[in-house]
């Protein structure tokens, strides 16, 4: 297929079917009158919605809440929406959170004939806060960039270097991919952030984002960031929350256990997409990355996101664990009474460390897996 990308270059890309998401959202729409798809900008929400509109083979109507003409059509949302049937798509719903109460009123009417699919460039937590009036009527399915399961292990390095944004991963050349990511970052800061009503200078937020890239995979330290920017801790915390709420950053919360050790209680910070991380660090190729101090952290963040996607984990299931004495666990997954630990190592010959042994005993792990760079899977006992 031929696409015109946002920087004016023509790229030829293949289609990567996202059957898992289509099936999941279809199931949710059968059980819920409203389904929300949160996801970062340019991650493919609109494309997925179009595929769903075709797959459902019924009446379908779409509204782009960044389009002035669509906003004009919704000047009286009750009047516009109450006569619609089939699937109704509201794209960029975070721009009109006032529509959620309207949806509740419409859905509570007898003979409601519509199902609503709302797309939002905001975190699931933020959308849930906005949609509290729809409690019991709305389900969520977060959309991420391409995963390893979707592209295949043969393209692992490409996915790692370019990241999972469709236009970045599917670009015809590395140069086009890099240019798309740079343009995405600039547009996100200069246009998308102000559209959300956030009045922080693009240059300031870019500096903050760049500093976060150098702390990728490390513990958040508000005081250190505050001193660097010459502002209060609460101000840099606000910057962090903005990038988290727009799904550019993931904060991995700490897990604390009743053990006789001083434990870390601040979150761990990751840039959500490895391609954006590499772009901000000006790492164009795998060779550039392999010579950079953030190689291990980049690998850790990439595998962390891959495991979360592969296992279908919810955010509230995922933690890290660390003590001030040096023991740590990259990822702790809580699933009922079971506890699963994951360590990510950029090596082909992983070894059990004292830190891992400490995590096994202190956290009473059901099992501990080391995800490494080798091709073979084998037990370490």
Cα separation, 269 vs 273, in Å, equals 12
Residues near 110 by Cβ (< 8 Å), separated by ≥ 6? none
Q: What is the pLDDT of residue 141?
A: 94
Q: What is the CATH number of domain 17-140?
A: 3.40.50.300
Cα-flanking dihedrals φ and ψ of residue 351, to 5°? -130, 150
The structure's pTM equals 0.91
Residue 276 CB-density burial (10 A; 0-12 exposed, 13-18 middle, 19+ buried)? buried
Q: Which residues contact 223 (CB under 8 A, 6 or more apart)?
A: 233
> Phi and psi at residue 63, in whole multiples of 5°?
-130, 130
Name the nearest CA neighbour of 368 among 351, 377, 356: 356
Q: How many Cβ atoms from other residues are within 10 Å of residue 357's Cβ? A: 12
- In tens, the pLDDT along 201-251 reads 999 999 999 999 999 999 999 999 999 999 999 999 999 999 999 999 999
- Cα–Cα separations (whole angstroms), residue 310 to 152, 184, 222: 12, 26, 32
Residue-level pLDDT at 17 = 76
**Which three-class secondary structure string do you get for 33-93?**
CEEEEECCCCCCHHHHHHHHHHHHCCCEEEEECCCHHHHHHCCCHHHHHCCCCEEEEEECH
Tens digit of each residue's pLDDT (9 = 90 or more) over 366-377: 999 999 988 888
Residues of the chain with CATH 3.40.50.300: 17-140
- The residue ranges of the chain whose pLDDT is under 70 are 1-14, 381
How far apart CA 281 and CA 288 sit, in angstroms, is 10
User: What is the structure's pLDDT at 381?
Assistant: 64
């Amino acid at each position: 297929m031929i696409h015109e990308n946002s920087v004016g270059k023509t790229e030829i890309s293949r289609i990567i079917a996202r059957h898992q998401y289509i099936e999941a959202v279809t199931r949710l729409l059968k059980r819920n009158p409203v389904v929300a798809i949160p996801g970062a900008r340019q991650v493919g929400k609109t494309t997925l919605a179009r595929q769903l509109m075709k797959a459902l083979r019924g009446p379908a109507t779409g509204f782009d809440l960044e389009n002035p003409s669509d906003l004009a059509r919704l000047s009286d949302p009750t009047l516009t929406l109450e006569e619609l049937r089939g699937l109704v798509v509201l794209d960029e719903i975070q721009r009109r959170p006032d529509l959620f109460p309207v949806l509740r009123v419409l859905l509570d009417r007898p003979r409601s004939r519509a199902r609503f699919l709302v797309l939002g460039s905001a975190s699931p937590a933020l959308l849930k806060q906005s949609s509290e009036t729809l409690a019991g009527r709305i389900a969520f399915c977060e959309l991420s960039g391409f995963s390893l399961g979707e592209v295949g292990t043969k393209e692992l390095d490409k996915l790692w270097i370019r990241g999972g944004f469709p236009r970045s991963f599917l670009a015809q050349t590395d140069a086009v991919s890099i240019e798309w990511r740079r343009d995405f970052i600039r547009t996100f800061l200069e246009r998308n952030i102000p559209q959300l009503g956030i009045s922080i200078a693009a240059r300031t937020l870019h500096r903050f984002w760049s500093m976060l890239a150098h702390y990728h995979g490390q513990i958040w330290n508000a005081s250190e960031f505050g001193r660097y920017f010459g502002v209060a801790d609460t101000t840099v915390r606000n910057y962090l929350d903005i990038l988290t709420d727009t799904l550019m950053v993931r904060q991995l919360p700490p897990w604390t256990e009743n053990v006789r050790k001083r434990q870390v209680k601040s979150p761990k910070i990751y840039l959500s997409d490895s391609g954006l991380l590499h772009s901000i660090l000006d790492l164009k190729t795998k060779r550039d990355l392999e010579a950079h101090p953030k190689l291990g952290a980049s690998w850790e963040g990439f595998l962390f996101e891959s495991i979360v996607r592969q296992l279908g984990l919810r955010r509230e299931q995922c933690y890290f664990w660390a003590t001030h004495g040096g023991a740590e666990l990259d990822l702790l997954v809580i699933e009922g009474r079971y506890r699963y630990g994951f360590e990510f190592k950029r090596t082909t010959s992983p070894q059990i460390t004292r830190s891992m042994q400490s995590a096994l005993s202190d956290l009473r792990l059901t099992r501990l897996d080391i995800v490494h760079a080798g091709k073979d899977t084998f037990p370490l006992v």
